[in-house]
Amino acid sequence: MTLLILLSVSFISAVVLAFVGDRKFAPEINILGSAATFAAGVGLAIEVYMHGPMVAGNKFFFVDAFNVYLAVLTSFVSMTTAVFSRRYMRWEREHGRVGHWGMRFYHAMFQLFIFAMLLALLTNNVGVLWIAMELATLSTVLLVSLYRTPTAIEAAWKYFILCGVGIALALFGTVLLYFAAEKVLGEGGEALLWTNLSQVSDKLEPTVLSLAFVFLMVGYGTKVGLAPLHNWLPDAHSEGPTPISAVLSGLLLNIALYALVRCKVLVDGATGTHQAGYIMMGFGLLSILVAAFSLLRQKDIKRMFAYSSIEHMGIATFAFGLGGQIATFGALLHMLVHSLTKSSIFFTAGHASQMHRTQEMDKIKGLLKGNPLVGWGLMFGVMAIVGMPPFGVFVSEFLILTATMKDAPLLTPLLLIGIGVAFAALFRRVQPMVAGLIPANQHPLKAAHIPVILHLVLVLIIGLYMPDFLSQWFHTAVELLK
C-alpha cells in the first residue's frame, strides 16, 4: 500500500503540475508532491526495516534492503531539489531564461522523472526496469534543452542520441537474459522477475549471460556515465537548469548503476566466475582516471562537477566490481554520500553562477564575502567530495581503498592517483572562487539555504557516526549482492 502511494504521488503530481502550469503556487505544489513522496518512502523503509523484504502487486514490485535505501535517497534528494528549485527557477523566470511554457514543462517533467526513477527501483521485472530507465531519459531530454540556447540543444541532442543508443543495447542484453531465463523458468512474464531469476541464477546458461552482460554493461554503463561512454554527461549537466543537473548527477546515475549491479548478481550466479566483476573494475578505473585528468582542464563550474560525478561513479562501479564485503559496503555508502554531496554542490554552484551571470569559473570570485552561505556551502561541499575527513565520502573511499589493497593491491596506486589528481584539480579551482573581494560583476541573491545545509550536515553525520539502521541495511544489502 505504501508502495503504491509512493509511486502514485509523483505521477499524480506530474499530471497536476502539467495543468497548474506557470501559476504562482506551482513550485509549492512541486515541493508538496516531493515531500509526500519522501514521507511515503520513509514509511516504506520502516515497513521493510520491521518486516524484511517484501513482494507486492502480484509480484510486480519488490523491495529489499538494496533498493529501499535508494528509494528513500531518491525521494529525499528530489524533495530538497524541489525546495531549491523554487528560488532558483523563480530567478531564472524573472530574468527571462525560461518562459511560461518552459515552467509548466519543467515542473511536470520533474515529477515524471522522479516517478520513472522510483519505478525503476521498485519494479521486480527486469524488462520494466529497462522501460523505466528509458522513461527517465526521455523525461529529462527536453529539460536539458529548456533554455533553447544552441549549446543547450546540442547537449540535449547528444544526451538523447547517446543514451537512446546505449539503452537500446541494454534492451538487447535484456532479451538475451530472457532467452536464458525462459529455458529455466518457462515462458511468460514470470521469467523476467528478479525474485525468480535470483533464485535460479546458477542454472542460467553462462555463455548467454556473459554475452548479455556485455550489452547490459555498455547500455546501462552509458547512463552511469562510465568512460569511454561518458561524452553526453558533462554537456547535459552543464547546459541544463541546475536543479536538473543535481538530480541527474545525484540520482539518475545511481539508478543506472543499481540496474547494472542487479544484472551483475545474476551473471555472477550463472558463470560462477568473477568475469563481470573484472569488466566493471576496468570500466570503473578508466572512468576515475579519465575524469580526474579531465577535471584539470575545466573552465565551466557545472561542467567540472559533472566530471567529478564521472569520477565518483567510477569509484562505486570499481568497488562493486571488486566485490567482497568491505568493497560492496563502501560502494553502497559511496552512492549515498556522493548523491547527497554532489547535489548540494550543484545547488551552490547554480547560485554562484546566477550571482555572476556566468558559469565561467574565472569570473566567479569572492563568494564568501558576497553570500557566505553559498561560499561556505561550496567550500564544504568540495571538501566533502574530494574525500576529506570527517565527511562521509572519506569513510566510503577509505573502505574501498582498504579493500583494494587487500584484494587487488596492484590497482591501488592507480586508484590513489585518480583520487589525488581529482583532489588537486577541484581544490585549485574552488579556492579562488570562494576567496577574495566581491568583484564588480557579482549581484546579490536570495539563495535557498535549507537544502545545502541539510545535505552537508547529513554527510557530516554519516562521516562521524553511522546510524545503526543504516549499517544494518547496508550489511543486508551486501549479503544480497554476494
Partner 1 sequence: MSINLAAQVNSIMAALILLTSFGLLVQRRMYGLLHLFAWQGLFLSISTAIVGYVSGSHHLYISSILTLALKVILIPYILHFLMKQLHIHKEVEQLVNVPTIMLIGIALVIFSYYLTAPIRELSTLVTRSTLAVALATVMLGLLMMITRRHAVTQIIGFLALENGLFFAATSATYGMPLVVELGVALDILIAAFIFGIFFFQIRTTFDSLDVEQMTKLKEED
- Residues of this chain that bind partner 1 (CB under 8 A): 125, 127-128, 130-131, 134-135, 138, 141-142, 145, 148-151, 153-158, 160-161, 164-165, 168-169, 171-172, 174-176, 178-179, 182-183, 187-189, 191-192, 205, 207-208, 211, 234-235, 238-239, 294, 297, 299
Prior bond to 409 cis, omega within 30? no
Vertex 183: Cα angle to 177 and 184 (nearest 5): 95
Is residue 170 within 8 Å of 229, Cβ to Cβ? no
In this complex, which beta carbon is closest to partner 1, that of residue 306 or of residue 458? Answer: 306
Vertex 326: Cα angle to 55 and 226 (nearest 5): 75
| Measured distance CA(257)–CA(19) in Å, rounded | 34
In this complex, which beta carbon is closest to partner 1, that of residue 290 or of residue 462? Answer: 290
In this complex, which beta carbon is closest to partner 1, that of residue 73 or of residue 197? Answer: 197
Cell 509480484 belongs to 59
Minimum Å gap between C-beta 194 and partner 1 is 13
In this complex, which beta carbon is closest to partner 1, that of residue 237 or of residue 264? Answer: 237
Minimum Å gap between C-beta 116 and partner 1 is 10
First-to-last C-alpha distance (Å) of the chain: 30
Minimum Å gap between C-beta 153 and partner 1 is 5
The full DSSP string for 135-198 is HHHHHHHHHHTTT--HHHHHHHHHHHHHHHHHHHHHHHHHHHHHHHHHHHH-SSGGGGBHHHHH
What CA–CA distances, in Å, run from 77 to 80, 251, 433? 5, 8, 26
Minimum Å gap between C-beta 16 and partner 1 is 19
In this complex, which beta carbon is closest to partner 1, that of residue 154 or of residue 407? Answer: 154
In this complex, which beta carbon is closest to partner 1, that of residue 101 or of residue 278? Answer: 101
| Measured distance CA(147)–CA(350) in Å, rounded | 14
Minimum Å gap between C-beta 313 and partner 1 is 19
Minimum Å gap between C-beta 364 and partner 1 is 18
Minimum Å gap between C-beta 95 and partner 1 is 20
Is residue 313 within 8 Å of 253, Cβ to Cβ? yes
In this complex, which beta carbon is closest to partner 1, that of residue 168 or of residue 373? Answer: 168
Q: Which of 409, 427, 415 is nearest to 291 (CA)?
A: 415
In this complex, which beta carbon is closest to partner 1, that of residue 14 or of residue 128? Answer: 128
3-state secondary structure of 403: helix
96 contact partners, CB below 8 Å, separation of at least 6: none
In this complex, which beta carbon is closest to partner 1, that of residue 3 or of residue 144? Answer: 144
In this complex, which beta carbon is closest to partner 1, that of residue 153 or of residue 424? Answer: 153
Minimum Å gap between C-beta 234 and partner 1 is 8
Minimum Å gap between C-beta 135 and partner 1 is 6
| Cell output for 482 | 554476494
Q: Which of 297, 461, 308, 322 is nearest to 405 (CA)?
A: 322
329 contact partners, CB below 8 Å, separation of at least 6: 399, 474, 475, 478
Minimum Å gap between C-beta 83 and partner 1 is 28
Is residue 201 within 8 Å of 191, Cβ to Cβ? no
